[in-house]
Each structure stands twice: as structure tokens, then as C-alpha cells.
Amino acid sequence: MKTQDCFVDGIATALPPVAITQADGAAFLKESYAGRLKPGSVKLMEKVFSHPSVQSRRFAFDDPSALVDEDPDRRAERFAKWALKLSADAGRRALVKAGLAPADIGGLVVNTCTGYLCPGVSTYLIEELGLSRSIKAYDLVGSGCGGAVPNLQLAAALAKERPGGAVLSVSVEICSCTFQMGDDASLIVSNALFGDGAAAAVVRDRPGGFAIVSSVSRFAPEYREDIRFVHKNGQLHNQLSARLPGLAAETAGSLVTELLAANGLTHKDISRWAVHPGGENVIRSVQAKLGLADGDMRYTRKVLSGLGNMSSATVWFILDEMEREGLKPGDLVVMLAFGAGMSAHACLLKKV
């Protein structure tokens, strides 16, 4: 997919106020679930929470006790409250950074996989941000951690429909609204990894930020059961398999090979890598498959350490971190995200 006429500008992020260290999180869960977990599960929890790859995370609640046996209706209310607040905060900052007013926005694309609203989050943002009531608005679901790039692909297509038009792209994930605890290893690992956050960016046909050179996607539905949400008792439970790091590496590796070949590039031509942090084991597998150095993954690991895996929003945080450190005009960046399905998506960006 070639989209050279579109640009990504005004990348902005938003976080909830509550920060919890891994040590405090582990202590809270051990106390809250004493007697409800098998000894082996407690040992696993201690191991994954003590791993140095994640140091702290942000969460969308006032008190962590809200998580314990949270009523489904209260959980839905919490998702609605924080998904709107964080996405609106990120959206406002993106508009300011891009130098635009709400009236300049002709399209809106919102993706999330950690909660459900009907009408979607987009309709609440139209009201909250004062966007046009005739805006083209879309809500994307089901892409999991990889959702930011399909969102960007759709936003770019919308931006090209109208010369001078601008589209707001928003990824928001309240991962704590999928919290479950039990003796399932998938749940224990997830509870040590995921955090809450939102990000937004403006996509338009005027130069600024990054040029969108091209993007590619790949789906491997035969691996669907290795990474997905499943419904149990009417609530989402994260399901992760032990072979996920290898599957992510294979899927992402072939995708990047396709992206680079289509643009006549090699790995050496890429200045920065914005790779989604699916956890340290996944990072290592993807890094080895792509033949990248530790320095290439420093932004990925920095965001994972301080904020955890915020599902689809995370790759925007990584790109924002790169911009703050500084990029030179002409620098090429690969934005790589993967998630449920198994699916993987990559976008080639060029710093303007």
C-alpha cells in the first residue's frame, strides 16, 4: 500500500494518573488473592513480576482494590470513563502539536480492543472535542496490540479523499478492564505486563512530521488460539501460548522483509525501529529474526520498562519517544505492531 502523499504529525500520548511499581503490584495481588491461587501460580507470579523488563505501569482506576472481583457493569462504566478521558486528552494534544483546530478535522478513526461501547468511542470524542457532526468517523475493533497501524492505514485513505483534509487517528486501551486472576499462566503473565494508555496523531496531505511511504499487513489465522481474548462468564480473558515469541518473530520477520523489498531497501537503510513490545521474550525473538542490535530496540524497551505493554497504543509512545530524542530529515523509521489473530502490520515512515 503506497501512501506517499500523506503525513503523520502531532503525535501525542495520554496516561492515567495512578502509577504502580511491579513490586507493589505483586504485593497487592498476593494479598488480595491469598488462598485463591495454587502455590505454583504464586511462584510464577513472583517470577514474572520480578523480571527487570517492566518496572512500573499506569492504571485507569482510583484504587487497585477496584480490580478484585470487579462487577462487570462497573468495569464497563470504568472503561467508558477512562477511554473517553484518555483519548480526548491525547486528541487535544495532537491537534495543538499539529497546529489545527477541531474544525480542521474531517475524519476520525478510533481503535481499541479492551472494551466495547455502542455507539463507539468516536461518537463521544466528536462531542468532547467539538468535532464536526458531519465528520467521517470509524471505530475499529479486534486487532489487539497491532491495531494502531490498520488505524493509520484507514486514516491515510480518508485524508487522501479530500485535498487539505486532516484525520485524527486515536488508539486507546484500558487493559486493566480485561484484568482477570486465576491459575492460568496467561492471566498471570498478562497481569505483570499490561498497562493503560492512549495516543493520537493527525494524518493529512500537507508535509509535516513523517511521510507515510507505505504499509503492509499479514494475517496468520491458523495461530488464532495462540494470542487472543476469549469470553468466559461474559468477560474477556487474555489467552497467550508459550510459542507466541516464535510465532510473532516469524510473522513480523516475513512482513518486514516484504515491506523493505517493496521499497528497494535493506535493514541498514532504516534509522529507527518502533517495534511493539509484546514482552521481553517476544522482543528478543523479533530482534533476532530481524537481525537488530540492542540499540535498535532501546525505545521499545524503554517504554516497556516505564509503562508496560499498553496494547495498540504502545507503538505510538515509542514513536513519540524517538521524536523527543531527535530525528534528522530523511531518517527512515519502521513502525511494527503485531497482535491478536495472529496479525502483524508494518508502516514505513520518513522524517520530514
pLDDT in tens, 284-337: 999 999 999 999 999 999 999 999 999 999 999 999 999 999 999 999 999 999
Backbone angles phi, psi at 111, to 5 degrees: -125, 145
Lowest mean pLDDT among 196-200, 226-230, 343-347: 226-230
Q: Please, which residues bridge with residue 345 across strands?
A: 217, 337
Concatenating the DSSP letter of every residue in 20-48 gives: EEHHHHHHHHHHHTTTTS-HHHHHHHHHH
Residue 245 has pLDDT above 90, yes or no: no
pTM of the predicted structure, to 2 decimals: 0.95
Q: What angle do CA 124, 89, 97 make, to 5 degrees?
A: 120
User: Containing domain of residue 142, as a range?
Assistant: 7-204
CATH number of the CATH domain containing 273? 3.40.47.10
Cell digits for 229?
481474548
- Do 51 and 173 lie in one domain? The reply is yes
The pLDDT tens digits of the residues spanning 82-113 come to 999 999 999 999 999 999 999 999 999 999 99
Q: Is residue 1, in this structure, part of any structural domain at all?
A: no
User: Which of 161, 185, 204 corresponds to the end of one domain?
Assistant: 204
H helices of 33-120, where? 39-49, 72-98
Domain count of the fold of the chain: 2
- Do 177 and 283 lie in one domain? The reply is no
